[in-house]
Amino acid sequence: MDKLNIDIEKGVIEPRELSASDRFKFKCYPGIGCFNKCCSAMRINLTPYDIFRLKNRLGLSYDEFLIKYTQPAAIDRTPLPIVVLKLLDDETKTCPFLSGQDGCSVYTDRPSTCRYYPIGRVHMKKVDQPELREFFVLVKEDHCLGHQEDKEWTINEWREDQGVDFHDSITRDWLEIVIKAKSLGMMEFSKGSLDLFFMVSSNLDMFRKFVFESRFLSAYKLKPDLVDKIRDNEIELLKFSLKWLRFALFGEGDFDVSDEAKVKAAEHRKKLAEVRKQQLQRREQKAEKDIAHMRKMKKNRIDN
C-alpha cells in the first residue's frame, strides 16, 4: 500500500478526487490558533526550483545548502533520487526555517510542497488503464483549523494565489520526467541515468561545470546566443538543464547533437529499451507464478 492510500486510511486525506475547478474552504493567517503547527514532522520534497530559490535566499552555494539543509530520498513510487528538507532533530521534528512566533523565515521562497498545502497533487495509473490521471486531494489534519474558515477557493485559484502555478511552469520538464517515471512503475534506470537525474535535480553548480568544462558543447550544437544566455543567467541555465535532462533520459525534445553524440544516445535508448523489456518479462513471469501458486492453494483447500 503506498503513502497516499495509508494517508487516506488514516483520514488525513479525503478520499475524493478533485479537479482544478472543484471548490474547498480554507484560510490560513498569522494569529490562527494552529499557526505553525503544520511546519513539523512532514516530508518536504525539494524540486530543482525550490533549491534554487532557497539557496539564493540564504546566500549559499549549492554544496553548502545541500549539506546543511537536505538529506537524500527518492520520489514516491520511483527510484529517482532527490533531496528532501532535513528537519531539526528535536521532539517535534521542526522545519529548520520555522522562526518562533514569526512563522516561516523564508516565506516568499518557501518550497512548492508548503505552497500547495492543504492540497496534494496526485498522478496515478490504474492497473487496467494505460494513461496516468492527474487529480488533486484535500489534506485535512486534525490540528489544522484553516478548514473551519469560510473563505472558498477553486483548486486553480489556490494554486495561483500561492504561486505554485509559476513554480510548476519553471519545472515543467522535470515534472514531466517524474510523471513519466511514475507511469512506468518502479522502472529500472541505469546508474548513469540516476546520477544525471540527481545532479540536474539538486545541483546546478555541478551542471554548469558539466556544460562548460566538459565536451558537452562539442556534442550539442547550441546556438551561440543560447550559450551566452545559459552562461550569464542562472534561471535560464536551470530551465535548460531540465529540458536537457528530459532529452537525455527519454529522447524527448529538440536538441541538435553531433553524429558521435547521436550514436551514443541511440545506444543508450537501446539499452534502456532492453532493460524495460527484461523488467516487463520478469513482472509477467512473477504474475504467472503468483497465479499458479494461488490456484494450487485453492485446490489444496478444496481437496482438504
Binding site for ligand SF4 (CB under 6 A): 28, 32, 34-39, 95, 97-98, 104, 106, 110-111, 114, 117, 143-146
278 by DSSP, 3-state: which? Answer: helix
What is the Cα–Cα distance from 157 to 24, expressed in whole angstroms? 10
For residue 88, the minimal CB distance to ligand SF4 (Å) is: 10
Q: Decide whether 123 or 140 has the Cβ nearer to ligand SF4.
A: 140
Length of the chain: 304
For residue 39, the minimal CB distance to ligand SF4 (Å) is: 3
For residue 263, the minimal CB distance to ligand SF4 (Å) is: 45
What is the Cα–Cα distance from 278 to 12, expressed in whole angstroms? 38
Q: Are 172 and 243 in contact (CB under 8 A)?
A: no
Residues 6+ positions from 202 with CB-CB distance below 8 Å = 46, 48, 51, 62, 66, 70, 82, 83
C-alpha closest to that of 216 among 269, 272, 257: 257
Q: In degrees rounded to 5, what are phi and psi of residue 3?
A: -60, -40
Q: Decide whether 79 or 96 has the Cβ nearer to ligand SF4.
A: 96
For residue 137, the minimal CB distance to ligand SF4 (Å) is: 15
- CB atoms near residue 179 (< 10 Å): 15
Q: Decide whether 38 or 248 has the Cβ nearer to ligand SF4.
A: 38
- Grid cell, residue 37, equals 503547527
What is the Cα–Cα distance from 211 to 135, expressed in whole angstroms? 36
Q: Decide whether 59 or 130 has the Cβ nearer to ligand SF4.
A: 59
For residue 97, the minimal CB distance to ligand SF4 (Å) is: 4
For residue 87, the minimal CB distance to ligand SF4 (Å) is: 9
Q: Decide whether 46 or 177 has the Cβ nearer to ligand SF4.
A: 46
Q: Decide whether 39 or 175 has the Cβ nearer to ligand SF4.
A: 39
Q: Decide whether 38 or 200 has the Cβ nearer to ligand SF4.
A: 38
In terms of phi and psi (left: phi > 0; alpha: psi -120 to 50; beta: otherwise), the region of 226 is alpha
Q: Are 161 and 152 in contact (CB under 8 A)?
A: no
For residue 135, the minimal CB distance to ligand SF4 (Å) is: 21
80 by DSSP, 3-state: which? Answer: coil
